[in-house]
């Protein structure tokens, strides 16, 4: 199961993480976001211990969405050392996400 990130825990869970972090910026009304949900959960299980994988609801957490300039969702951002190292917009396959994570 993927983690749930919020404006309150984003710094601790993502920015200060000692592991790479994949963050899915999503909203419940977004169709492609709903398609991504099981993929994100599978990825979280498969990458456990190597990469943190989680989601942040853009409607409930406007500060993080604004800070990282999320204009379209789903938006996937991969963080390493507190910085965004890769950004993807739109629905992605699990294989594509794993490939990107393998590059960090």
Question: By the 8 A CB rule, do 40 and 96 touch?
Answer: no
Specify the DSSP element, H or E, that contains 54: strand 52-57
Helix 94-102 to helix 31-46 angle (10° resolution) is 50
Q: CB atoms < 10 A from the CB of 8, how many?
A: 11
* Dihedral-angle region of residue 84 (phi above 0 means left; psi in -120 to 50 means alpha; beta otherwise): beta
30 is catalytic: yes
| pTM for this prediction | 0.96
pLDDT in tens, the chain (104 residues): 899 999 999 999 999 999 999 999 999 999 999 999 999 999 999 999 999 999 999 999 999 999 999 999 999 999 999 999 999 999 999 999 999 999 98
What domains can you pick out in the chain, each with its CATH number?
3-91 (3.40.30.10)
27 is catalytic: no
Residue with tokens 């629905």: 91
Catalytic residue among 23, 33, 53, 97: 33
């Amino acid at each position: 199961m993927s983690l749930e990130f919020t404006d309150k825990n984003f710094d601790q869970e993502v920015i200060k993480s000692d592991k790479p972090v994949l963050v899915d910026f999503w909203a419940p009304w977004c169709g492609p976001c709903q398609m991504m949900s099981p993929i994100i959960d599978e990825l979280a299980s498969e990458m456990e211990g190597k990469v943190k994988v989680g989601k942040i609801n853009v409607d409930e957490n406007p500060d993080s969405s604004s800070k990282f300039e999320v204009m379209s969702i789903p938006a996937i951002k991969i963080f390493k050392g507190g910085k965004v190292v890769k950004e993807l917009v739109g629905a992605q396959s699990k294989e594509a996400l794993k490939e990107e994570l393998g590059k960090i």
